[in-house]
Amino acid sequence: MLRRALPSRPEARRLLVGTLLSAIGRGLTLPFLFIYLTDVRGLTDARAGLVIGWYGAVTLVLSPLGGTLIDRFGARRVVLPCLVIEAVGTGSLSLVHSTGSALLVMTVIAIGSSAIWSGQNTILASLTDDGERQRVFGLNFALLNLGIGIGGMTSGAIVDTARPGTFQTIYLLDAVSYLLPALILLTLPGVGHRLGHRTTGDEPSSGGYLTVLRDRPFRRLVIFGLILTTCGYAQIEVGFAAYAVRVAEVGPRVVAWALAANTVTIVVAQLLVIRRIEGRSRTGALAVVGAVFATAWLVLGAAGLVSTGNALLAALCVVTCSAIFGFGETVLSPVMPALTNALATDQLRGRYNAMSSMIFGISGVIGPVTAGPLIGAADGMVWVAVVVGGCLVASVVALSLRRLLNPTQDGRTTTDPTPAEQAPAHA
C-alpha cells in the first residue's frame, strides 16, 4: 500500500521526506508553547493566550497575500523565504523573556507560516496528476502525523520546566527542521515555478480571489469546510480537553493518551483508507467524515454521563473519541486538498489552496471562543449537541456538492479529464 501511495515523480517523493523531517521538529514543540510561556518565561495565562491568539490572527490575515504571491511569482519563491523566516522565528522563541518579545517573535513565525502550507500543497499538486493526487495528499498527512508523534515522544522525555535550557534546545531543533525542506527544495531547481506560464496567450485574464469565490462548487466546499472544522478540528484544543477534564473528570494524562491514540490511528489507518476511497465519490467521503466526527463527539458525551459511576469507562470513552476522530481525519486529509486542486486552475492554484487553508484559521478563531460558554451550559450537553449537529449539517452540505461536480472532479473516474471537465462551474 505504501508503494502504491508514493508519487511517481521522484521530486514529489523527496518533498514528502521534507514533510516528515519538518514534522518531527514541529512535534518537539507543538504541545509545549503555552507551558513554556507561562511556567518557564513567567507570562500569565491571559498573556500567553494573547500571544498564541495573536499568531493565529496574523497568519489568517496574511494567508490571502500568500496565495496571491504564489500565483504571481511561483510557490518556490514564496515557500523558500517563508521556511527561512519560520526557522528564524522558531529559534528565537528560545530567547523570549517578556510579553513584548513573545509577540514580536510570534509575528515573525506567523509571517513565515502564512504561506508554507498553501505553497507546499500547490507544489505537490503540480507534481501529481488527478489520479494519484488524493493518495499523495493522504500519505503527506500520515507522514506529518508520524513526524509529530516522533517529535512529541522525544520532547516528552527531554523537557523539564525546572531547566529552561531543555525548552531552548527543542526550539532550536525545531528551527533546524524547517531548514531541511528548504534544502530539499533547493536541490530541485525545476520545481515550484509559476504555473500560469503554462497557459496560452489568447486565454482571458485569470482574475483573483473574486474569481475563486465565484466558483460555485468551491464556494460550497468552503462552506462545508467552515462548518466541519468549526465543529470538528477547532474543538480539539479547547472543547475536547475542557469537556474531558471538567465534565468527564479524567486527568490530563488520559487526555495525553487520547491524543496519542489519535496519532496512532492516523498513522496505522491512513494507507488503508487511501486504498478504500480510491475511485469513490469525494463528496460521499466528505459526508462520511461529518458522520464520523459526530460519532466521536457522541462517544465523548457518553464519557460525561458515566464519569460519576465509572471513571475507567469514562477514560475509555475519551480515548475512543480521539481514535474515532483520527479515523475521520484519514478520510478528510486526502479528499479535501485533492478536491480543492481538482477545482483549481493553474493560474489560481495558489489562491485556491490559500482559501482552503484559511478555513482552518477562521474556524480556529470561532471554535475556541464558543467552546467555553457552551461547555458551561447544562453540564456540557449543549456543547455536545451543537458540535454533533454541526458535523451532521456539514455532511448534508457535502452531499449537496455532488450535483455541482462532474465525475472526474468527484473522484468517480480515473480517466484524464477533458478541458471542458476541468473548468469549474460558476454561479
Residue 182 and residue 228 in one domain: no
Residue 424: inside a domain: no
User: What's the pLDDT band for 52 if we cut at 50, 70, 90?
Assistant: confident
Highest mean pLDDT among 4-13, 39-48, 256-265, 399-408: 399-408
Torsion of CA 331, 237, 320, 144, to 10 degrees: 40
Highest mean pLDDT among 207-216, 235-244, 333-342: 333-342
Residue 307: inside a domain: yes
Residue 17 and residue 129 in one domain: yes
Residue 161 and residue 223 in one domain: no
Last residue of a domain, one of 169, 193, 217: 193
Alpha helices (H) along 74-193: 75-92, 99-113, 116-126, 130-156, 164-186
Residue 35: the pLDDT is 82
**Sequence-ordered list of residues with C-beta below 8 angstroms from that of 260, at least 6 positions apart, any chain:** 149
Mean pLDDT on 300-316: 91
Mean pLDDT on 242-266: 87
Residue 254 and residue 123 in one domain: no
Mean pLDDT on 225-238: 88
* φ, ψ (nearest 5 deg) of residue 280: -100, 165
Residue 220 and residue 188 in one domain: no
Rounded distance, CA 279 to CA 186, Å? 35
Residue 414: the pLDDT is 55
Give Cα separations from 330 to 142, 273, 359, 403, 415 (angstroms): 8, 7, 18, 24, 24
CB 155 within 8 A of CB 29: yes
Residue 184 and residue 329 in one domain: no
Residue 421: the pLDDT is 41
Mean pLDDT of the chain: 88
CATH number at residue 92: 1.20.1250.20
Number of domains in the chain: 2
Residue 184 and residue 228 in one domain: no
Rounded distance, CA 421 to CA 377, Å? 49
Of 15-29, 197-211, 234-248, 279-293, where does mean pLDDT reach its minimum? 197-211
Residue 418: the pLDDT is 41
DSSP, collapsed to helix, strand or coil, labels residue 215 as: strand
pLDDT of residue 415 exceeding 70, the answer is no
Which cell numbers hold the place of 261?
491514540
pLDDT of residue 380 exceeding 60, the answer is yes
Residue 423: inside a domain: no
Rounded distance, CA 230 to CA 359, Å? 9
User: What are 207-226's pLDDT values in tens digits?
Assistant: 789 999 999 999 999 999 99
User: What's the pLDDT band for 427 if we cut at 50, 70, 90?
Assistant: very low
Rounded distance, CA 369 to CA 363, Å? 10
Last residue of a domain, one of 136, 164, 193: 193
Residue 18 and residue 158 in one domain: yes
Structural domain boundaries enclosing 100: 10-193
Residue 184 and residue 248 in one domain: no
Residue 131: the pLDDT is 82
Length of the chain: 427
Residue 65: the pLDDT is 95
Q: Is 253 exposed, middle or buried (0-12, 13-18, 19+ CB in 10 A)?
A: exposed
